Amino acid sequence: MDLTRWVAVIGAGLSVWMWLPGDGITRLRPAVPVRLPTWAQPLPSAMGSRIRWWIGGVTALLVVAYGWGWSPGVVVVGPVIAAGVWVGLGRLEPAGTRSRRLQTLYELPRALDLVRACVRAGQPLRNAIETVAQAVGPPISNLFGTVSNALSVGMSEAQAWAVLKEDPVIGFVARDLTRSATWGTAVVDVLAQHSVDLRRQGRAAQLAAAKSVGVKSVLPLGLCYLPAFMLIGVVPVIAAGLSGLFR
């Protein structure tokens, strides 16, 4: 198959896939969802799956066309490149989103301790959430405010907490509080355990950030020291060689 036919086939496939309606894509998905490994799961704030597949397909098309050429190996190499781009883009997130997520991770344990203290003092959980939301600032007040707003429009506590079950930080807490509201288990124990777990995650995130400083500083330090190395180490050697040549 020559280059023109390859381009036509791939272009037609991408066009059909891009223009297929959302409900059609849903019908084409397998009945049993496929769970990806942790390293391949996209972050909640990453760009949409369809856009990532589109970028991956175009990247694979360009790389194969100008790198490997149009050979039978394209059948294997192309999908691998597209899948790699899809996974890589799924692990990227905007700097602002990452900053808010880390801030939530660092401040949420203290907020849960405050909620637990209010509950132990005799307040219902919904009143404790409202009290703590008024006492702390964003982003915790935004999360608790979402639950309070859901309760104010008539949702049950289980339904209100289920709104946050997909949040990357408070999602585990929300799912356990949903089960607690459904089955009547002790809320204080759930809050205490999650407070300990979130503090552990926060320390791990801080340690990872501290370790990454050395890696991120290599390029700036190299750019700073390179001119000095050239002026002190290379230029005198060249100057000495030229002076000896013209004597």
For 124-181, how does the pLDDT look when each residue is reduced to its tens digit (9 = 90+)?
888 999 899 888 888 898 999 999 888 888 888 888 888 888 888 888 899 988 888 8
Residue that wins the pLDDT comparison between 164 and 236: 164
Determine contact, residues 141/124, Cβ cutoff 8 Å: no
Confidence of residue 31 (pLDDT cuts 50, 70, 90): very low
Confidence of residue 42 (pLDDT cuts 50, 70, 90): confident
**Contact partners, residue 162, CB within 8 Å, separation at least 6:** 174, 175, 178
Alpha-carbon gap, residue 115 to 133, rounded angstroms: 9
pLDDT tens across 62-121, in order? Answer: 777 666 555 555 666 777 777 888 888 777 777 777 788 888 889 999 999 999 999 998
CA distances from 227 to 104, 219, 231, 238 (A): 42, 13, 6, 15
Q: Which amino acid is at 185?
A: T
φ/ψ bin of 69: left (φ > 0), alpha (ψ from -120 to 50), beta (otherwise) = left
Provide the pLDDT for residue 1. 47
Alpha-carbon gap, residue 57 to 52, rounded angstroms: 9
**What share of the chain has pLDDT > 90, as a percent?**
10
